[in-house]
Amino acid sequence: MILSTGRLDARRTLPVTLLVIVVIGGTLLLYTRPAVLTPASRQLIKSIFPSPNLVASHEHETDKQKTNSLGSTPCKRNLSFSSVPLPLTALASVQGSGNTWVRHLLHQLTGIYTGSVYSDRQTVSRGFLGEGVRDGTVVAIKTHRVEKEHPYDRAILIIRNPYDAIFAEFNRQGSRSHVGVAPFRAYIQRWNSFTTNFQRRWLTFHEEWMTFKKPLLLIVYENLVVSLPEHLQKMAEFIKHPSLKINISCALADSTGHFRRVDKMASFKDEVLSADLVKTMNSNIKAVQKMFRKKFPKVAEAMSSWLKNARNY
Ligand SMILES: *[C@@H]1O[C@H](CO)[C@@H](O)[C@H](O)[C@H]1NC(C)=O
Ligand SMILES: *[C@@H]1O[C@H](CO)[C@@H](O)[C@H](O)[C@H]1NC(C)=O
């Protein structure tokens, strides 16, 4: 009797169990199923998230002592805040243009912290204790802002080929996010709005900074990479102050930012740049070129090499 009841129950519960399995299984499948992505998007995802263990990192890792370019002993300066008020120096750039690297170089150059208009906890954890500080105790103040009111006495402006900056920033944001299928998909879906915003910001940022009337040192990221000593010299002269103990060899000995990430996206960048985006970005470059022509003729001329050939799209 007990046995037959058991059999009867089993017969009754089997369909229910099967239904539950199908529902749960189906839900799981639906959830984990990769989004419908173009091959280019797939590649992009792979390059942005090369391994599940990818640690969030900035484009230029400064906290890890890798090799150093001159083969000399790494020079790690003890950083402090300036006890003597320094002129307010903006370190202005669009995102993805080497701002963090230049901050590191300034640290090594002066032994004084750089500040920032932002307070990024992750940056603090990497030893950039000047996050959020924007007074005379820091040697320069990071800003990505388009600022109508400039509270600064002088500015270091870093400019980079926007086609590189856009990928650098996308990559940085990507490596910060958690790894998983859903974020991947969400991330790729953000590409269009990301690029629309980025290109617009790139233009207005430079337009705005060209209205800055006080001393301005323009640094072209690409040039900084190829001739670091010359640029450190320029920066040193620009920021010099009686209270600063500038050491160029120290900055050179630990210029870890000099080691650029391998450009994993190089082969398919063109695939994710739409014809419209290229058109807009080229016209942005030309607009900035025009603005720079008077004050920085050499830089303006060199910007022509940034233009992408629209015929390929
Ligand atoms: C930094 O500080 C440590 C400990 O106070 C000291 O041993 C070291 O020599 C200092 N380094 C420099 C470059 O001043
Ligand atoms: C600069 O730093 C180097 C270490 O890289 C040190 O040997 C040298 O004495 C420093 N120079 C000055 C002027 O402090």
Does residue 43 sit in the same domain as residue 101? Answer: no
Q: Which ligand is nearest to the CA of 255?
A: 2
- Compute the average pLDDT of residues 59-76: 50
Does residue 38 sit in the same domain as residue 138? Answer: no
Does residue 43 sit in the same domain as residue 98? Answer: no
Within-domain flag for 4: no
Within-domain flag for 54: no
* Residue 41 confidence (pLDDT): 62
73 lines ligand 1 (CB under 6 A): no
Q: Ligand 2, residues 69, 77, 250, 255: which to mutate, most atoms within 8 A of Cβ?
A: 250
Does residue 286 sit in the same domain as residue 139? Answer: yes
pLDDT, tens digit, 9 for 90 and up, residues 89-143: 999 999 999 999 999 999 999 999 999 999 988 888 888 999 999 999 999 999 9
Does residue 37 sit in the same domain as residue 168? Answer: no
Give me ligand 1 centre to Cα 247, in Å.
Answer: 15
* Residue 138 confidence (pLDDT): 98
Does residue 29 sit in the same domain as residue 134? Answer: no
Q: Ligand 2, residues 69, 75, 240, 254: which to mutate, most atoms within 8 A of Cβ?
A: 75
Does residue 157 sit in the same domain as residue 230? Answer: yes
Taking the model in full, what pTM does it have?
0.76
Within-domain flag for 238: yes
Q: Closest residue (by CA) to atom 1 of ligand 1? A: 78
Within-domain flag for 63: no
Does residue 162 sit in the same domain as residue 218? Answer: yes
* Residue 45 confidence (pLDDT): 60
172 lines ligand 1 (CB under 6 A): no
Within-domain flag for 104: yes
- Compute the average pLDDT of residues 217-232: 95
pLDDT, tens digit, 9 for 90 and up, residues 18-45: 555 555 555 544 444 444 556 666 666 6
CATH code of the domain in which 300 resides? 3.40.50
Give me ligand 2 centre to Cα 251, in Å.
Answer: 10
Within-domain flag for 73: no
Q: Closest residue (by CA) to atom 6 of ligand 2? A: 250
Counting the structural domains of the chain, the total is 2
Reply yes or no on whether the pLDDT at 265 is more than 70: no
- Compute the average pLDDT of residues 193-207: 95
Does residue 152 sit in the same domain as residue 237? Answer: yes
Give me ligand 2 centre to Cα 308, in Å.
Answer: 43
Find the domain containing 99 and state its range. Answer: 89-312
Does residue 20 sit in the same domain as residue 143? Answer: no
- Compute the average pLDDT of residues 41-67: 46
249 lines ligand 2 (CB under 6 A): yes
* Residue 221 confidence (pLDDT): 95
Within-domain flag for 217: yes
Does residue 38 sit in the same domain as residue 159? Answer: no
Does residue 41 sit in the same domain as residue 127? Answer: no
Within-domain flag for 95: yes
Range scoring the smallest mean pLDDT among 7-16, 139-148, 211-220, 228-237: 7-16
DSSP secondary structure string for all residues of the chain = -HHHHHHHHHHHHHHHHHHHHHHHHHHHHHHHSPP---HHHHHHHHHHSSSTTPPP--SS--SS----TT-SPP--PPPB--SSPPP-EEEEE-TTSSHHHHHHHHHHHHSB--EESS--HHHHHTT-TTTT--STTSS-EEE----SS---SEEEEEE--HHHHHHHHHHHHHHHSPPSHHHHHHHHHTHHHHHHHHHHHHHHHHHHHTT--S-EEEEEHHHHHH-HHHHHHHHHHHH--TT----HHHHHHT-GGGSPPP-TTGGGHHHHS-HHHHHHHHHHHHHHHHHHTTT-HHHHHHGGGG---GGG-
250 lines ligand 2 (CB under 6 A): yes
